[in-house]
Amino acid sequence: MKPYNIYISGVGGQGIIKTSTVIGESAMKSNMSFVMSEVHGMAQRGGGVSTELKIGDAHSPIIEYGSADLLISFEPLEDLRAIPKISHKTTVIMNTSIIYPFNLSAGKHSYPNIEDIIKELDNKSLKVYAFNANQIAKESGHLLSMNMVMLGAAAAVNGFILEKEVVIDSMKINLPEKSLDINLRAFESGFDSIKSS
Amino acid sequence: MHKNLVEKMEKLKNISNNSSLNKIFNKNGKIGIITSGSAFNYVMDVINENQLEISVLKITLSYPFPDQLVLNFIKDLETIIIEEVDPIMEKEVLSIIGQNQLKKNIHGKLDGTLPMIYEYSPNIILNALNKVTDTNLDIYDANMSEIKIPERQPTLCPGCPHRAAYYSVNKAVSELNLKNVIYPTDIGCYTLGVASPYNSADYLLSMGSSIGTSCGFSKATDQNVISFIGDSTFFHAGIPPLINAVHNKNRFVLVILDNRTTAMTGGQPHPGLSTDGMGWEAPEISIEEIVKATGVKFLRLINPLNIKKSQQTFKEALEFNGVAVVISRYPCMFIKRKREGNLSLEVKQNKCNSCAKCITELACTAIYIDKEGLTHIDPQLCNKCNVCVQICSEKAIGIKNSFNR
Ligand code: SF4
Ligand code: SF4
């Protein structure tokens, strides 16, 4: 089976590693092989984070250029940084909420226009779902559930390889009990936001 | 003793030649790949995806090198060695070819089939196969963003005690009018001092090298040397070179940035704390006592968040003729952030003269300039270390009680 490749990118503290763990657990529950690698140099100090996930028959955990089936991007700038991994076969889910990089000479190079970012991704991928996941997360009960909004959205995408129910089961195992309800709500809202678009 | 070891190696070679850890995959075709480590994964992905007929020998037990196994493998195959970093296996294979007087080419890093640098990827393997075989495989294309992407660099956290220490060191240096100061540093969050405006990390070799290289710099030049090492790195690798520094009569300032944890890797304990790696209570080893025991004659303890006192201490340290140690002690913001409470800091716009020194000299990430050019503190990011309050010449940064609003 040709692997299903998921690339996740964003900024430290957004819950990317946790999301990846839930996906990995779901793959294994579904009796599929799973490999993953993560780049999180100094994530806690405000740097970028990305993970590469392959579900199916793969040896190496690195997604080759243009081979991502799905790009889940938690932050628009990090979406642009992921472009080498995508092609016209890639579905893109993007959170439009911005985290500005700290930069001493603010204004030296400014943050690109969000409309331009969406257009750029649209040109280079199969389909882009862009929405404000922070907003949905807040409505679900807590900003920190944004990663589960994104995961819910992923589960709703055409061709997503895992069953929604299995993903929910894995969430129950991997997330702290006291925030589980909020996270499940966030997941469902993310799911609905794709289904209804 | 040596005889025993040589005999043991002979036995081990036998084991290595017959070990199931050194395994042949896909025995077919005219091409053979010898590979190991993560390169094996890329090789297998490329072979499977392109349905290639290639034999693969995966070496896991690589020392002593399984010479017989390799000899049998390469005999009838066009061989490529695919390994990351140095061409170790490649040279082993060449020596086997030499010993057995085979007339045989092999491909790898040494003949330029594969690059000496980079971590490998499927693309690098595809390129190599295209070079030495007639497979003509498709190389993956990388899309490039047409929009210029600003960098997202890691920085010290808001309120980080290291930032305050760097600020004071820089002030002390400029007040003493010192030029060409050399800043050896070590491995931790504080390595981020390499960035502007701190510019306090000139040289880093390895764990603990800050102190050892300072000894060298102070002997070889007449420049001032200010060296930085974190608390856990000091315990790990800083003590022997400090002893040598004193013994060899070197002259430099050593700042031990003691933030009571191993911050960069996620907050592991170290011997200077009262909890051990298992979470049990443990005797706390005193950095001061260790430094004193090495014979250091100048030792001061500062709270880096106290800017005036810190600057004064650094100045004295810089004037000392010998090894001067300053322990800069304040917990990492992950341990001691003061987000809670109703008090927050704000920039009083009627006093702020927009000199932007809190941004250009201190560069706390919680302070920013808005579109109108006004300076603000982001209450969501500020950890209330109070350093900006002390450095503002206009006294424009103050406390506001957000509870009343
Ligand atoms: S008090 Fe000032 S320097 Fe300290 S974290 Fe807040 S804004 Fe930054
Ligand atoms: S984690 Fe601690 S030591 Fe590291 S940058 Fe933040 S406050 Fe400083």
Which pLDDT tens digit goes with each residue over A114-138? 999 999 999 999 999 999 999 999 9
DSSP β-ladder status, B298-302 and B323-329: parallel
> How far is Cα A46 from Cα A44, in angstroms, rounded to an integer?
5
In this predicted structure, the answer to whether residue A105 has a pLDDT above a threshold of 50 is no
- Are the Cβ atoms of A109 and B148 closer than 8 angstroms? yes
Residue B264 vs residue A105, higher pLDDT: B264
Digit-coded pLDDT (tens) for B149-160? 988 888 898 899
| Judgement on whether residues B165 and B259 belong to the same structural domain of the protein | yes
> How far is Cα B170 from Cα B361, in angstroms, rounded to an integer?
9
Q: What pLDDT is stored for residue B207 in this prediction?
A: 94
Query: What residue's CA is closest to ligand 2, atom 8?
Result: B160
Count of domains for chain B: 3
Q: What is the residue-averaged pLDDT of chain A?
A: 92
Q: What pLDDT is stored for residue B404 in this prediction?
A: 42
In a domain, B379, yes or no: yes
In a domain, B139, yes or no: no
Residue B360 neighbours by CB distance under 10 Å: 12
CATH number of the domain where residue B371 is located: 3.30.70.20
Phi, psi (deg, nearest 5) at residue A105? -90, 65
The residue written with tokens 């996941």 in the block is: A133
Tell me what the mean pLDDT of segment B335-360 comes to: 84
Digit-coded pLDDT (tens) for B103-131? 999 999 999 999 999 999 999 999 999 99
In this predicted structure, the answer to whether residue B402 has a pLDDT above a threshold of 60 is no
DSSP, residue by residue, A61-119: S---TT--SEEEESSHHHHHHTGGG--TT-EEEEE----PPP-TTTTSSPPPPHHHHHH
| Judgement on whether residues B321 and B175 belong to the same structural domain of the protein | yes
Q: What pLDDT is stored for residue A43 in this prediction?
A: 55
| Judgement on whether residues B243 and B319 belong to the same structural domain of the protein | yes
| Judgement on whether residues B114 and B230 belong to the same structural domain of the protein | no
- Are the Cβ atoms of A48 and B152 closer than 8 angstroms? yes
In this predicted structure, the answer to whether residue B405 has a pLDDT above a threshold of 50 is no
In a domain, B141, yes or no: no
| Judgement on whether residues B317 and B354 belong to the same structural domain of the protein | no
| Judgement on whether residues B349 and B221 belong to the same structural domain of the protein | no
In a domain, B145, yes or no: no
Q: What pLDDT is stored for residue B155 in this prediction?
A: 85
| Judgement on whether residues B267 and B176 belong to the same structural domain of the protein | yes
Digit-coded pLDDT (tens) for A132-166? 999 999 999 998 899 999 999 999 999 999 999 99
Dihedral over Cα of B62, B64, B67, B69: its sign: negative
| Judgement on whether residues B328 and B396 belong to the same structural domain of the protein | no
In this predicted structure, the answer to whether residue A109 has a pLDDT above a threshold of 60 is no
Q: Which of A96, A120, A178 is nearest to A145 (CA)?
A: A178
Digit-coded pLDDT (tens) for A157-192? 999 999 999 999 999 999 999 999 999 999 999 999
In this predicted structure, the answer to whether residue A107 has a pLDDT above a threshold of 60 is no
In a domain, B151, yes or no: no
Q: Where are the alpha helices (DSSP H) in B176-253?
A: 209-220, 231-233, 239-247
Cα torsion through B300, B243, B257, A104, rounded to 10? 110
Categorize the per-residue pLDDT at B343 as very low, low, confident or very high, splitting at 50, 70 and 90: confident
Count of domains for chain A: 1
Digit-coded pLDDT (tens) for B239-280? 999 999 999 999 999 999 999 999 888 788 999 999 998 999
CATH number of the domain where residue B292 is located: 3.40.50.970
> How far is Cα A24 from Cα A52, in angstroms, rounded to an integer?
11
| Judgement on whether residues B237 and B376 belong to the same structural domain of the protein | no
Q: What is the residue-averaged pLDDT of chain B?
A: 93
Residues of A in contact with B368 (CB under 8 A): 106
> What percent of chain B is predicted at pLDDT more than 90?
81
Q: What pLDDT is stored for residue B126 in this prediction?
A: 95
Q: What pLDDT is stored for residue B265 in this prediction?
A: 81
> What percent of chain A is predicted at pLDDT more than 90?
80
CATH number of the domain where residue B93 is located: 3.40.50.920
> What percent of chain B is predicted at pLDDT more than 70?
97
- Are the Cβ atoms of B143 and A65 closer than 8 angstroms? yes
> How far is Cα B61 from Cα B74, in angstroms, rounded to an integer?
18
Q: What pLDDT is stored for residue A102 in this prediction?
A: 72
Q: Which of B34, B38, B53, B27 is nearest to B137 (CA)?
A: B53
Domain span at B258: 161-336
> How far is Cα B328 from Cα B231, in angstroms, rounded to an integer?
10
Tell me what the mean pLDDT of segment B362-373 comes to: 86
Q: Which of B374, B361, B151 is nearest to A102 (CA)?
A: B151
Q: What pLDDT is stored for residue A41 in this prediction?
A: 61
| Judgement on whether residues B192 and B212 belong to the same structural domain of the protein | yes
Type of residue at B349: Q
Domain span at A158: 4-195
Whether the Cβ atoms of residue B227 and residue B254 lie closer than 8 Å to each other:
yes
In this predicted structure, the answer to whether residue A13 has a pLDDT above a threshold of 90 is no
CA B150 to chain centre: 23
Q: What pLDDT is stored for residue B369 in this prediction?
A: 84
Residues of B in contact with A46 (CB under 8 A): 152-155, 365
Residues contacting ligand 2 via CB (< 6 Å)? A 45; B 156-157, 160, 162, 189, 259, 263, 332-334
What is the end-to-end Cα distance of chain B in Å, rounded?
A: 80
| Judgement on whether residues B275 and B177 belong to the same structural domain of the protein | yes
Highest mean pLDDT among A40-49, A66-75, B136-145 belongs to: A66-75
Query: Which 8-state DSSP code applies to residue B299?
Result: E
Total-model pTM: 0.81
Question: SS3 of B358, please?
Answer: helix
Whether the Cβ atoms of residue B254 and residue B214 lie closer than 8 Å to each other:
yes
- Complex ipTM: 0.86
| Judgement on whether residues B275 and B384 belong to the same structural domain of the protein | no
Atom of ligand 2 lying closest to residue A44 CA: 1
- Are the Cβ atoms of A61 and B152 closer than 8 angstroms? no
> How far is Cα B52 from Cα A19, in angstroms, rounded to an integer?
35
Whether the Cβ atoms of residue B86 and residue A27 lie closer than 8 Å to each other:
no
Residues of B in contact with A81 (CB under 8 A): 145, 149
Categorize the per-residue pLDDT at B85 as very low, low, confident or very high, splitting at 50, 70 and 90: very high
